[in-house]
């Protein structure tokens, strides 16, 4: 005859709790790791190429402001100390300075590419100081959403940046292209 003890009952109860916790852990892994839609390598590569090529195309785009590239207009804009006006650089009538003209051209490019493809984005150009945008200089921020910080919220982001030497220091130009997580 087998005699049951309270100690034996507690051991069985503890073992049952451990088994239940292991099952719950496995369900968690299956739900959030194995069933998560995987980004294909092809899509990830396409996003990398899109962000890099679009950023480079924008920077090297020649404008009607004295045949300067957008990169040069952005440099003029962001290196201007706050309170001073950037140069006009012989821009077409209707544009008061290089900032207005460069932002207009960049927005046209985004409208013809990212907006058509229904992709969110963030674009920023600024002089960097201590790894951050220098608040004493102009900062250009553009995004698909009116709130720059929320434009890519909750999405996968492919970010590309270029350092550009200017008279005021290094200008960092960043383009972030976003993709909804399915």
For residue 126, the SS3 value is strand
pTM: predicted TM-score of the whole model, two decimal places: 0.71
Phi, then psi, of 49 in degrees rounded to 5:
-65, -40
Query: In whole angstroms, what is the distance from residue 8 CA to residue 24 CA?
Result: 25
Per-residue pLDDT of the chain (182 residues), as tens digits, is: 555 566 777 788 888 888 899 988 888 777 766 666 555 677 777 778 888 899 999 999 888 887 888 998 888 888 877 666 666 657 777 777 778 888 888 999 999 998 888 888 999 999 998 888 888 888 889 998 888 888 888 888 888 989 999 888 899 999 999 887 65
Cβ neighbours, 10 Å, residue 96: 11
Query: In whole angstroms, what is the distance from residue 144 CA to residue 135 CA?
Result: 23
């Amino acid at each position: 005859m087998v005699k049951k003890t309270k100690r034996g009952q507690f051991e069985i109860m503890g073992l049952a709790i451990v088994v239940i916790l292991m099952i719950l852990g496995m369900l968690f892994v299956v739900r959030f790791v194995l069933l998560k839609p995987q980004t294909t390598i092809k899509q990830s590569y396409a996003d990398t190429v899109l962000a890099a090529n679009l950023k480079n195309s924008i920077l090297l785009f020649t404008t009607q402001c004295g045949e300067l590239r957008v990169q040069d207009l952005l440099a003029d804009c962001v290196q201007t100390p706050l309170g001073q006006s950037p140069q006009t650089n012989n821009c077409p009538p209707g544009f008061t300075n290089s900032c207005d003209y460069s932002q207009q051209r960049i927005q046209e490019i985004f409208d013809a590419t990212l907006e058509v493809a229904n992709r969110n984005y963030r674009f920023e150009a600024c002089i960097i100081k201590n790894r951050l945008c220098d608040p004493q200089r102009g900062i250009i921020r553009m995004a698909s959403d009116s709130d720059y910080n929320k434009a890519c919220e909750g999405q996968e982001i492919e970010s590309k940046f270029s350092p550009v030497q200017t008279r005021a220091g290094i200008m960092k130009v960043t383009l972030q292209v976003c993709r909804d997580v399915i």
